Chain A
Amino acid sequence: MKISGAEAVIRCLLAEGVDLVYGYPGGAIMPVYDEIYKFQDQLHHVLVRHEQGAAHAAQGFARATGKVGVAIATSGPGATNLVTGIADAQIDSTPLVCITGQVGKHLLGSDAFQETDIIGISTPVTKWNYQITEAHEIPEIIAKAFYIARSGRPGPVLIDITKNAQFDELDFSYEKCTGIRSYHPKPDLNLQKVQEAADLINNAKKPYIIFGQGIILSEAEEQLKRFVEKSGIPAAWTILGLSALPTDHPLNVGMVGMHGNYGPNLLTNECDVLIALGMRFDDRVTGNLATYAKQAKVIHFEIDPAEVDKNVKTDVAVLADVKEALTALIPLIDKKAHDSWHNEFKEKYKIEFDSVINEELNPTNGKGISMGETMEMINKHSKGDAIIVSDVGQHQMFACRYAKFNSTKSNVTSGGLGTMGFALPAAIGAKMGKPDREVVAIIGDGGFQMNIQELGTIFQSQVPVKIVVLNNEFLGMVRQWQELFFDNRYASTNMINPNFIAIAQGYHIKSRKVTEREDLDAAVEEMMASKDSYFLEVMVEKENNVFPMIPTGASVSDMRLS
Chain B
Amino acid sequence: MENKMFTISVYSENNVGLLNRISGIFLKRHINILSLNVSESEIENVSRFVIVVNTTEKWVQNIVGQIEKQIEVIKAFYHVDEETIFLESAIFKIASNLLFDERQIQNIIKDSKSEIVTVSREFFVISKSGKRSEIEELYAKLKPFGIMQFVRSGRISVSKEKMQISSLLEVL
Q: Is the CB of B172 within 8 A of A179?
A: yes
Given contacts A305-B69, A306-B62, contact A181 B24 (CB under 8 A): no
Q: Mark B1-31, 1 if CB is under 8 A from A, else 0.
A: 0000000000011001100110010011000
Q: Beyond A181-B169, A182-B71, A182-B72, is A123–B21 a contact (Cβ under 8 Å)?
A: yes
Give the residues in chain A near B16, CB-CB below 8 Å: 131
CB-CB under 8 A from A308, the residues of chain B are 65
Contact A306 B71 (CB under 8 A): no
B13 proximity list for chain A (CB < 8 A): 182
Number of interchain pairs (Cβ within 8 Å): 47
Which of B12, B27, B61 has the most C-beta atoms of chain A within 10 angstroms of its own C-beta?
A: B61
- Say how far B14's CB is from chain A's closest CB, in angstroms: 11
A181 x B74 contact (CB < 8 A): yes
Residue A109 is within 8 A (CB to CB) of chain B in the complex: no
Given the known A-B contacts A305-B65, A306-B62, A306-B65, are A183 and B20 also in contact in the complex, defined by CB atoms under 8 Å?
no
Q: Residue A344 at the B interface, CB < 8 A?
A: no
A180 close to B (CB within 8 Å)? yes
Q: Within the assembled complex, what's the spacing in Å between the Cα atoms of A119 and B18?
A: 11
Interface flags, A279-316, vs B, CB<8A=1, else 0: 00000000000000000000000001111111000000
List the A residue with the shortest CB-CB distance to B61.
A309
Q: Indicate the size class of the contact surface on chain B.
A: 20 to 34
Interface of A is mostly: mixed
**A129-B71 Cα distance, complex, nearest whole Å:** 10
Given known pairs A120-B20, A123-B21, the reply for A180 and B65 (CB within 8 Å) is: no
B17 touches A119 (CB 8 A): yes
Which residues does chain A contribute within 8 Å of B68, judged by CB atoms? Answer: 305-306
Taking the complex as formed, is A96 at the interface, i.e. its CB lies under 8 A from any CB of chain B? no
B28 and A124 within 8 A (CB): yes
A357 → chain B, closest Cβ, in Å?
38
Task: Give the residue of A124, A129, A304 whose beta carbon is less than 8 angstroms from that of B69.
Answer: A304
B135 within 8 A of A: no
Beta-carbon contacts of B35-74 to A below 8 Å, as 1s and 0s? 0000000000000000000000000011001101101111
Indicate if the CB atoms of A123 and B20 lie closer than 8 Å.
yes
Q: A248 to B71: give the CA distance in the assembly, Å.
A: 40
- Least CB distance from A178 to B in Å reads 10
Whole-angstrom CA separation of A373 from B7 in the bound complex:
57
Query: A306 vs B24: C-alpha distance in the bound complex, in angstroms?
Result: 16
Query: Residue-by-residue, is A107-131 near B (CB-CB < 8 Å gives 1, otherwise 0)?
Result: 0000000000001100110011111
Can you show 19 pairs from A to B with CB atoms below 8 A apart?
A120-B20, A123-B17, A123-B20, A123-B24, A124-B24, A124-B27, A127-B71, A128-B72, A131-B16, A179-B172, A180-B172, A182-B13, A182-B72, A182-B74, A183-B71, A184-B171, A306-B65, A309-B61, A310-B62
A-B residue pairs, 5 tightest by C-beta? A306-B65, A181-B172, A182-B74, A128-B71, A306-B69
Given A123-B17, A310-B65; 17 other pairs, CB 8 A cutoff: A119-B17, A123-B20, A123-B21, A124-B24, A128-B72, A131-B16, A181-B169, A181-B171, A182-B13, A182-B73, A184-B171, A305-B65, A306-B62, A306-B65, A306-B66, A307-B65, A309-B61
